[in-house]
Amino acid sequence: MEKRIAFKMKLKQGCKQEYIKRHDAIWAEIAALIKQSGISDYSIFLDEETNTLFGVQKQSGGVSSQELGSVEIQQKWWNYMSDIMEVNPDNSPVTKYLEEVFYLA
């Protein structure tokens, strides 16, 4: 069963261009892991007024991209991104899942 989820994360002040640069050159292993986990149609938007990142993705594998922390390459990606985002002690992004309150297909 496919479902859509949304979540928000926080980018550190002044890190927009670096965030874009790193995602423009996303590691092939990370992209493959995300796709193999059943995640598709994945977008991240930035609210520059608050430095809030807003992610939306479709899931058919039962996990979100934020739940792949047991995979070594995901841990390396989180470590790589930890200097420009708000992170938890394991360097995973601080993530707040959002409730869908409206959808028009």
Catalytic residue selected from 23, 35, 58, 96: 23
Is 12 among the catalytic positions? no
Convert 81-105 to b/e letters by CB count within 10 Å (16 or more is b): bbebbebeeebbbebeeeeeeeeee
For residue 59, list its beta bridge partners.
Answer: 3, 39
Main-chain phi, psi angles of 71, to 5 degrees: -95, 130
Per-residue pLDDT reduced to its tens digit, 20-60: 999 999 999 999 999 999 999 999 999 999 999 999 999 99
The pTM score is 0.91
Residue 69 pLDDT class (50, 70, 90 cuts): confident
Q: Domain map of the chain by residue range?
A: 3-98
Q: Class of the 3-98 domain?
A: alpha beta
